[in-house]
């Protein structure tokens, strides 16, 4: 092992914390840069605009819900989304997505054990 730069614990703490902050700030700048240059961001926003003015929200949600979902479930989901501050006119469809919840849960447990 080579000789450490300093043996003063407080100086070591100060230098190391500064480096940790600087590296993570640099990473934050990189994340912002990626966001700025993202060529796909505008394309995703564009089709959303024409759909915004929906005359009545609740009927459109009911119409967009698949046959398997009862009106009660649609109402509960809509109320939950509304509790986060979103208006009814912002809900365009309610449909189940393909997701293996058990698999994901298992992965979460494994990740929990590793860190």
Partner 1 sequence: MELFNAFAVSLQAVWHDSGFSAFTGGHAIMIAVGLVLLYLAIVKEFEPLLLGPIAFGCILANFPRTGFLEEPGLMQAIHYGIANEIFPPLIFLGIGAMTDFGPLIARPATLLMGAAAQIGVFVALVGAMFLGFTVQEAGAIGIIGGADGPTAIYLSIQMAPHLLGAIAVAAYSYMSLVPLIQPPVMKLLTTQKEREVVMEQMRPVTKFERVCFPIISAILISLLLPPIASLLGMLMLGNLFRESGVMDRLSDTAQNSLCNIVTIFLATGTGMTMSAESFLVPQTLLIIVLGLIAFIFGTAGGVIFGKIMCRTSGWKINPLIGSAGVSAVPMAARVSQVVGMKAKPGNYLLMHAMGPNVAGVIGTAVAAGTMLAMLK
Q: Which of 26, 75, 79, 93 binds partner 1 (CB under 8 A)?
A: 26
- Sequence-ordered list of residues with C-beta below 8 angstroms from that of 53, at least 6 positions apart, any chain: 89
Tokens 């590296």 map to which residue? 23
- Binders of partner 1 among 52-111, rule CB under 8 A? 83-85, 107-108, 110-111
Q: Single out the residue of 50, 47, 53, 57 nearest to residue 89, CA to CA.
A: 57
Does the protein bind partner 1 through residue 40 (CB under 8 A)?
yes
| Single residue of 51, 67, 97, 115 touching partner 1 by CB under 8 A | 115
Interface stretch with partner 1, choices 6-14, 50-58, 62-70, 94-102 (CB under 8 A): 6-14
Dist. CA 15–CA 112, nearest whole Å: 31
Question: Is 12 a binder of partner 1 (CB under 8 A)?
Answer: yes
| Beta carbon nearer to partner 1, 38 or 59 | 38
96 within 8 A of 66, measured Cβ to Cβ: yes
For residue 90, the 8-state DSSP code is: G
Backbone phi, then psi, for 12, in 5-degree steps? -60, -45
Which residues contact partner 1 by CB under 8 A? 1-2, 4-5, 7, 9-10, 12-13, 15-17, 19-21, 23-28, 30-32, 34-35, 38-41, 44, 83-85, 107-108, 110-115
């Amino acid at each position: 092992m080579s000789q450490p730069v300093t043996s003063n614990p407080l100086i070591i703490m100060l230098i190391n914390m500064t480096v940790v902050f600087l590296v993570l700030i640099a990473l934050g700048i990189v994340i912002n840069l990626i966001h700025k240059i993202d060529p796909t961001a505008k394309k995703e926003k564009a089709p959303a605009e024409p759909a915004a003015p929906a005359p009545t929200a609740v009927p459109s949600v009911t119409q967009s819900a698949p046959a398997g979902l009862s009106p009660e479930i649609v109402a509960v989901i809509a109320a939950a989304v509304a509790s986060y501050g979103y208006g009814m006119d912002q809900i365009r469809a309610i449909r189940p997505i393909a997701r293996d919840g058990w698999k994901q849960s298992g992965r979460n447990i494994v990740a929990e054990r590793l860190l």
